[in-house]
Amino acid sequence: MDHPTWHGIELDAETALALLEWQAEMGADEPLLDAPLDRFDLPAPPAAPQIPLAAPVAPALSLTPDDEDLPARVAQAEALAAQAGTLDALAAAQEAFDGIELKKGARNFVFADGNPAARVLILGEAPGDEEDRQGRPFVGRSGQLLDRMFDAIGLSRQAVDAERAIYITNVLTWRPPGNRDPQPDEIAVSMPFVRRHIELAAPDLIVLMGNIACEVGLGRRGILRLRGTWDQAFGRPALPMTHPAYLLRNPPAKREAWADLLSLSARLDGRA
């Protein structure tokens, strides 16, 4: 019978057992092979079995409609806007329109405020949190500043006289979550209502408040370059102005805003 070997030396059973006990006393707790084993070179685990599904699994959350249906939604908005013969009818049609996802997360429909017969229409961007609560545009901190700004040149949303009144609306009538900027598809489905809104209100002048209003009215952004320069939007004279929210963050910019208000006042009075 062959005897075990240790470093090439043949061992009897008693010596082999003594060596094993010595190794155990030294802390060896498992046997090793004669050749070293690379324990990092392990075979890949077997692939999980593929279980066929009877039907696709539906996503847990509802997804925003794909842009593929955007032309259909815009066409529907255009049809509804064209059918509206009054501002009340337009408001009812736009509020009932389901082609904009923002409607599902907003609390209130925010259509307009002020005197619809006003010579001046102010076009803003979208409702904020306080506007969403009250269902009226420009009623938060920005709206309070806006009221003070236009009151300084004798204009007010409460005025009955169309000569001294302002009429206020936004590109979007539903609040975007977190007050984020409107998305292109949201603007696209809102534009037929915006155009019809301006047609029905028929203002003499439009004030474009902020970048989004300039984008839809002039096709350009860059309010700090555009502000104070008269242009044409929706077929009417239009004055780009910095949004009151910007003025709250940058008080020195109120000087330029005051110059813009004076330009608007001069235009209304026929002095420019």
pLDDT for the residue 21: 74
Q: With bands split at pLDDT 50, 70 and 90, how would you rate the model's confidence at 18?
A: confident
- Enumerate the domain spans of the chain: 70-268
| 41 compared with 164, residue with greater pLDDT | 164
Averaged confidence pLDDT in the chain? 86
Exposure on the CB side of residue 99, measured as CA atoms within 13 A:
26
Please report, to the nearest 10 degrees, the dihedral formed by the alpha carbons of residues 203, 168, 201, 180 taken in order.
110
Three-state DSSP at 82 gives helix
User: Which of 17-26, 42-51, 181-190 has the highest mean predicted lDDT (pLDDT)?
Assistant: 181-190
13-22, 117-126, 136-145, 204-213, range with the lowest pLDDT: 13-22
Three-state DSSP at 231 gives strand
Report the alpha-carbon distance of residue 25 to residue 28 in Å, rounded.
7
pLDDT tens readout for residues 153-164? 999 999 999 999
Q: With bands split at pLDDT 50, 70 and 90, how would you rate the model's confidence at 43?
A: low
pLDDT tens readout for residues 115-152? 999 999 999 999 999 999 999 999 999 999 999 999 99
Tell the CATH topology of 70-268: Uracil-DNA Glycosylase, subunit E (3.40.470)
Q: Look up residue 178 and give its two tokens.
A: 């977190």
5-14, 64-73, 169-178, 254-263, range with the lowest pLDDT: 5-14
Report the alpha-carbon distance of residue 210 to residue 180 in Å, rounded.
14
pLDDT for the residue 50: 43
Nearest one of 164, 87, 85, 158 to 118, comparing CA atoms: 164
Whether the predicted pLDDT of 184 surpasses 50? yes
Q: With bands split at pLDDT 50, 70 and 90, how would you rate the model's confidence at 48?
A: very low
Average of per-residue pLDDT across 44-51:
46
Q: With bands split at pLDDT 50, 70 and 90, how would you rate the model's confidence at 58?
A: very low
Whole-model pTM: value is 0.75
